[in-house]
Amino acid sequence: MPYTLMKGLVWVLLAVLLGIVVGWLLRSVAAKRQVERARAANLGTADRDELERLRQRVANLEPIVADRDRLRSELDDARGDDSPATAPVPAQSVATVPVAPGAPENPPTTMHDAPETMHDAETFDLGAAAAAIGKPIVADDLTVVEGIGPKIAELCHGIGITTWSDLAETEVSLLRTMLNDAGQRFKAHDPSSWPQQAALLAVGAWDDFAALAERLDGGRPVG
């Protein structure tokens, strides 16, 4: 009788212990799943926030691109043909490019003041450009313009400004809007001289460009 009682007690203890172990394991698995769900939910929220931020940025840039396309269309209509934007532009269809203080005496301040035929990228004398500017350059590299770095060049490409001629024909107000929409770190940049610099580069006026660049600091007139 005592043996049977002891044996029953042992089985009861084993069953209780087994129940505790199984319960602990189930609780651990459930807790792990809850943690994974919470992490997935947090990641999903972060992804949605990032996606919404990118959508908002695209929405802000779309009107800028639309305005630029409209201006190009008006220029094409004024020329009366479908020639590219780098072709000769009539004086009445081009806005004046702002002139920075201390610039060379007679730089082309509007695209119609430039020679009748704009340079193609393949016709640039890059050897003469390197000699005048003091470093090798690549045709239509926007970072050659004083005040434009790689990040701002990417912003310009994003709204369709990919060549010096494109930049020379772009309104300063449009450039300011682009910088403001890109965030606080870009708002401090001054694009007022960028079209003028680009106009000089686009016609291969390397010496005039170098003289102007020496009078600028980050795109701003010095002094």
Q: Where are the domains of the chain?
A: 56-221
pTM: 0.49
Gap between the Cα atoms of 6 and 51, Å rounded: 67
**Amino acid 45: pLDDT:** 67
DSSP 117-132: SPPPGGG--HHHHHHH
Return the SS3 of 136: coil
Q: Per mean pLDDT, which range of 6-15, 48-57, 113-122, 126-135 is the poorest?
A: 113-122
Give the lowest-confidence range in 3-12, 133-142, 210-219: 3-12
What percentage of the chain has pLDDT greater than the value 70?
A: 70
Tens digits of residue pLDDT in 167-204: 999 999 999 999 999 989 998 999 999 999 999 999 99
Nearest to 61 by CA among 183, 207, 202, 199: 183
- Contact between 145 and 197 under an 8 Å Cβ cutoff? The reply is yes
